[in-house]
Each structure stands twice: as C-alpha cells, then as structure tokens.
Structure 1
Amino acid sequence: MDGSVLTAGALGAEELRTTEWSGIVAVAAGNVHTARNTGRSHTVGLRKDGTVLATGWNNAGQCDVHDWSDVVSIAAGWRRTLAVLADGSARATGRRNEGANAVEDWSELVAVAAGDWHSVGLRGDGTVLAVGSTRRGQCEVAGWRDVSAIAAGYLHTAALITDGRVVAVGDRSVGVLDVPAWRDVTALSAGSRHTVAVVAGGRVLAAGDNSHGQCDVDQWRDVVAVAAGSAHTLGLCSDGTVLAAGSDDDDDDGQCTTTGWQLAPAQ
C-alpha cells in the first residue's frame, strides 16, 4: 500500500478530492439517506501518524478534524465523523441534534461505527455502547456480549459475535435484521437499509432493501472485506480487485465504477 486513495463517484464532487492525500491507512465515507449523494457526502482519511483528513460536505462541521491526533480508528456517518484515540476514548464532530456526538464519556474503545442518527462503540471487552436516536430501537445494544465488530446503518445496528454469528437491532421494515441464521461470518458492514457480511471461504451474504441491486452479491467469491453504502455494496477480493453492486446509473454518480481498481490484497 502506498497510502494514496482511490475514489469513484460524480466527477468534481468535493468528497472525491483526495488526490493530494498521502500516508493514509484507513478511509471512511459519510452516508446519505438516498442513492443520490452529490454534494451531500464527505470522506475521511486516517494517516499513519494518527492525524485525520476530511473533504466534502461540511454543513454541520463533520469535516472539522484538522486538530485531531493520536487517532487509531475512524468512522463517518450522515453529517458526522467519529474517531477512537490511542487511549481508548472517542471524539466526534458534526450534527448534534440527535445526541449522536455524546461520546465524551466512552472509554476502552477499539472501534466505532456511525449511523445516520446514532453512534456505536465497541469496547475491548466485547461490549457495545450506543447514543443518539433510537426511535426504531437501533441503540438497544446494552445486552450484547463477545462482539468483535460493529456496523451502523440508517435505522439499524449490527454486530459480529466472536463465534461467527451476527446480531442486529432496529428497523425491521425492509428485512435488514434478517441475519440470525448467518454463520461463520468474518466481516460485516451496514448500508442505509441493508446489511452485508463475508463468510469463511469468501462468499458474501446480504439482507435488507434490494431496490437498487445492492444485495445482489450471492455470486461473489474470494472476498475478504465488504463496505455498504446508501444503495450500493463493494467487495474487496483476495487478489486486490474490487467488486460492486447496486445503484450506479447516470443520476447516481458512478459510485460503483471500480473496474480496474487494484488494491493491496488483504493479509
């Protein structure tokens, strides 16, 4: 990995202006309510020195991360950016209306996830914290144990348990919580209204809204990581190529135009 960032989407969109970035070890893309995201998204990059870069829509201060340091993990949601610091604490910037930035008292964190209106934190002991809007029960995670990874969507939260199962809470209207039968899961991601997982052997599972084809991943193979957006899904294969499914027509900004990408294969 050379620390540069590849992007796909609407030409000229500010959230794609990452060509000058270097030394990046992780990226996060802010989510949106609908498939259309031009001018309504932001991109965050974590540098190897623990500082953070951001570009794109900044109406709520979600890109105000220039003074952050000692960061080890990042997440981006709708109008919000989260970070885990080296001491296990959390930082947040952006929209405050729903209380999703109230993470100042969190400690012993190893990861965070940002939904549209809620924030989720994973602690080193496998327990989970959540703040923000919980009108569909998306913050009801207090009883979760042995969690190894978390993901947050529009109105739902999902978690990977150490035994390979997946649990989820929140809005049930589009089937996004239909994950109890999943087994041997190794990686997890949540889009606005869908949940995606990699299982041992490299196959991919998906549940939830498929109105844009974002859940059409059953033929994918040799996948090691997934990322779910508003209405699309990306998969990183073991050879470094990237698969895409979902919204990608002229009105939806080309976010699935990943043909030709060659990333460093995951170790």
Structure 2
Amino acid sequence: MKKEFAELFAIYIIASVFLYFFAKLGVTYTNPATLMMIRYIISGIILFSISRKLIIDKNVLILAIFTTTSTIFWGYGLLYVSPAVSSVLSYTMPLFSMILAIFIINEKPNHYEIIGLIIGFLGLGIYGSTLFKGFTKIGMILTLINAVFWALFSIYYRKLSKYDPISLNATQFIIGSGFMGLIDIFSIRKGFYFIPSLKLLESIVYISTIGGAFQFLIWNYLLKLERVNKVTIFAYIIPVATTIIQALLYKSLPKLFEIIGLLIMISGVIIARLKG
C-alpha cells in the first residue's frame, strides 16, 4: 500500500468515524432537518469556492433528491440509535445498490455478488435482531431507508461520471439545503426545536467541514490513488472503528449478536466486492 494512500485513508477514517458522533450530538440540540440544512449550505459554499461553478440540470436535481432524502433519514434515524448502529446500518448501502442496479441500469450480479448479498443480509438480520424493538426499531428502519437512498445516489452518480465532481457536489449540496429548508417549514408546528449552545456549534463546524466538504475531497483524491473496489472495501473499517470508539467512549460493549452480525455483514460485502 502506498504511504500517501495509507496516510490519507487514515485521516478519512478518523473524519468519517467522528462524523457519526458529532451528528448525534447535533440532533440533541436541533431537529435533523435544520442541522443537515446548515451542513449542506456550508459544505456547498466550501466546494463552490473551489470549483467556482454550479451545474444545473435534470440529472443533478435527481441526484440532489436522492442525497437529501438519504441524509434526512440518516439524521432522523440518529434520534433513536447510537452512532455505532447508525454507521453499521448505513454501510449496508452496497447490498442495496447491488439489488437496485439490476432494475435501474440492468447490471446483472455474478455468482460472487449473489453469494455476498445473501451473506450480507444474513449478517444484517443477525445484527438487527437485537435492535428490532421500541424506539430503536424506528431508528433502524429510518437508517436502512437512508442506506437505500444512498445506494440510489451511488448508482445514479455513476451515470454522471463526466461531470466535474466538485462542481456537481457543490450544486447538489446547495439544492439539497433548499429541500431541507422546506422540510423545516413543515416541521415548525410539530417537532421543531433549536437550542443554541457551544455543543451545537461544535457539531455544525465538524459535520460541515471535516465531516463534510473536507471528507468529500479526500474521498475523491483516494479514488485517484487506488481502484474503487479497494477503497470501498477498506471503507468498511469505518463501522468497525465506530463500534470500537463507542465502546471506549461510553464504556458499553456491543452485544455478541451485534459483533457476529457486523462481521458476517462485512464479509458478505467483501466477497461481492473482491470478486465482483
């Protein structure tokens, strides 16, 4: 492994892991739509300051809808589940993308992908068996919907490979912030809350910069250094690391079934990605 790749990837992992903790912190002080709207505005401005260009067309609008929907469900899911659970469930995205790709871009899975898919969902079932109760069940469902829309975003993003990635994402972040604002308007009468505090400011700064625009720029640079499959597989360090960090911070060990389910789930994704 190249030294430059290893160093940058370590930074990316750290930025991504703590994104879940700072986002969880943020939704305790303001409703998810408000928090994510601010994140999108700041991230969009940062990326636009680099690209100096916005791309307005139907494809970008569709992409922005997928991204925004994914982010909204992720944010509301964080109201009910821990950062570790949110991370693990979010990273089921490749499992859903393999299924959706069959119908959207007529991409037929090979034998390894089918085996990986079955193993991955088996792991998800084991992991989720401990969560499917009470408010945690609501959070699990919301976060899995986030993973589905993240998968839709990933598939559609591939169709826009000729677009400049920084301009494309600057545009979708800015458009997405408008969608978030509309959701905020409808939530003013019910469920809206905003508690100004230093903790909220810390959350906004982190998820908009290190866990927002900066994270995106590193990811795109990593894709220039190594193959997409390799980078994607290594990214599965994130849910593992998030689970470990949460255990250390909260002094609460994950349940045995959660550990087994997580390992089986990641094994399924790796099988599908390595041989896909």
Q: Which structure carries more strand by proportion? A: 1
Q: Which structure carries more helix by proportion? A: 2
Q: Which has the higher contact order (CA 8 A, sep 6+)?
A: 2
> Do the structures match in fold with TM over 0.5?
no
